[in-house]
């Protein structure tokens, strides 16, 4: 399964901002307009949700790796 942004449910106030900014439709609020769900395949890791969350409840961490050249394998 692909990685996805991490929601800290203790911090999340269910304001729905992240879902409203997510252009890929990866974050969606449920019928009550509350909880945000992530549809992994759609998330392009634009990090906008992390940027807009007023409570620092969602984070999009990056892994930093050195590319392995084929001749190094």
Partner 1 sequence: MTATLDFISSVPYFAGLDGPVLKAIGRHVFERKAERGEILLFEGHPTDALYFVVAGAVKVFKTSADGKEQIFSIIRPGDSFNDVPVFSGGVNLTSAEALGPVVVNGIKKTDLEAVIREYPQLAQNVIRVLSRKVQELVSLVEDLSFRHVTGRVAKMLLEYAGDGDGERPRLTQQEMAAMIGTAREMVGRSLKSLEEEGAIRVERNRIIITDLAALRELAGVA
Q: Which two tokens stand for residue 34?
A: 């509350």
Instruction: State how far the Cα of 59 lies from the Cα of 73, in Å rounded to an integer.
Output: 33
Contacts of residue 4, defined as CB under 8 A and 6 or more positions apart, other chains included, come to: 26, 38, 40, 43
Residues 25-44 that bind ligand SF4 (CB under 6 A): 26-27, 36, 38, 43-44
Q: How far is the CB of 29 from partner 1 (least distance, A)?
A: 22
Q: Which residues contribute to the site for partner 1 (CB under 8 A)?
A: 2-3, 6, 8, 11, 44-45, 47, 50-51, 59-68
Residues that bind ligand SF4 (CB under 6 A): 5, 7, 12-18, 21-22, 24, 26-27, 36, 38, 43-49, 53, 55, 57-58, 60
């Amino acid at each position: 399964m692909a990685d996805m942004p991490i929601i800290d449910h203790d911090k999340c106030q269910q304001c729905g901002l992240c879902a409203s900014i997510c252009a890929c439709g990866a974050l969606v609020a449920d019928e009550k307009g509350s909880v945000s769900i992530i549809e992994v395949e759609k998330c392009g890791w634009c990090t906008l949700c992390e940027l807009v969350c007023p409570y620092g409840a969602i984070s999009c961490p990056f892994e930093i790796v050195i590319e392995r050249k084929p001749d190094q394998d």
